């Protein structure tokens, strides 16, 4: 074993660099497979590198020891950079996992090319929320109409419709927030406010329940004003 680590010390940094290519190949697999593989692989490589350093120093192989000491951390940093790039662009498979049931009724976000914008009727709560496609899949804008309200905050909550899974909870809350003054009549309270759904990938549609909530500025009490199910996709970042 000692002879192996002393003789083949240079293989471990090379192995680490080779993992970069493997990580790119892993983009086609679900994140759980990718993450489990990466954790185990990094652990094994790090252990073998530390062992090889010990044997090299013990055998007075100083040139090999110093070379490995320099090359290995550089290779490790390169691997982390590749990990970041791969995890950023890797599909998460969310939309493929949660298919839209055939019997489920849903709305399609307004798009100038494919779907009409619903006429807003104060007597029809189903028209109060209008979700529109943004400039990329997963990015949306919304309008919201409502009757008299005290001063407060309008914001959204989104859930996968069939399993009630929260979607981009903190991000959507921050991006969809709109502070309003007291109103006395039915009117548009939010206009073209942008929010992004991160779960899923472009073209992998699933059903999301989009809820509109209100927080009273004086009492801090929250209540849901309306909800609507839309067919959505995630933003492929």
pLDDT in tens, 183-218: 999 999 999 999 999 898 888 899 999 999 999 999
Location of structure tokens 């609507």: 228
Q: Which pLDDT score is estimated for 32?
A: 46
DSSP 9: T
Secondary structure of the chain: what % helix, strand, coil (to 5)? 40, 25, 30
> Where exactly are the structural domains of the chain?
2-90, 96-232
Which residues of the chain carry a pLDDT beneath 50? Answer: 30-33
Q: Which pLDDT score is estimated for 83?
A: 65
* CA distance from start to end of the chain: 45
CATH code matching the domain that covers 96-232, chosen among 2.60.40, 2.30.30, 3.30.1450, 2.40.70: 2.60.40
- How many CB atoms are located within 10 Å of the residue 167 CB? 24
- Dist. CA 80–CA 120, nearest whole Å: 50
Q: In what order do the strands lie in the sheet with 139-146?
A: 129-133, 139-146, 187-196
- Dist. CA 126–CA 61, nearest whole Å: 76
The full DSSP string for 40-99 is HHHHHHHHHHHHHHHHHHHTT-HHHHHHHHHHHHHHHHHHHHHHHHHHHHS---HHHHSP
Chain centroid to CA 45: 29
């Amino acid at each position: 074993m000692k002879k192996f680590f002393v003789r083949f010390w240079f293989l471990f940094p090379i192995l680490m660099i080779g993992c970069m290519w493997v990580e790119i190949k892993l983009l086609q697999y679900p994140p759980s497979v990718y993450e489990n593989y990466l954790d185990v692989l990094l652990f094994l490589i790090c252990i073998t590198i530390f062992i090889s350093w010990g044997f090299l120093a013990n055998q007075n192989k100083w040139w090999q020891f110093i070379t490995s000491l320099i090359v290995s951390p550089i290779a490790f940093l390169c691997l982390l950079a590749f990990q970041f790039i791969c995890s950023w662009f890797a599909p998460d498979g969310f939309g493929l996992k949660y298919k839209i049931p055939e019997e489920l009724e849903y709305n399609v976000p307004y798009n100038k090319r494919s779907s009409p914008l619903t006429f807003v009727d104060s007597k029809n709560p189903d028209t109060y929320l209008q979700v529109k496609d943004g400039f990329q899949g997963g990015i949306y804008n919304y309008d919201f109409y409502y009757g008299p309200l005290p001063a407060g905050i309008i914001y959204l909550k989104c859930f996968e419709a069939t399993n009630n899974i929260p979607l981009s909870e903190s991000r959507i809350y921050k991006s969809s927030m709109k502070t309003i003054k007291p109103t006395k009549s039915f009117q548009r309270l939010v206009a073209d406010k942008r929010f992004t759904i991160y779960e899923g990938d472009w073209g992998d549609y699933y059903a999301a329940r989009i809820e509109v909530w209100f927080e009273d500025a004086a009492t801090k009490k929250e209540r849901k004003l309306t909800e609507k199910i839309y067919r959505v996709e995630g933003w492929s970042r």
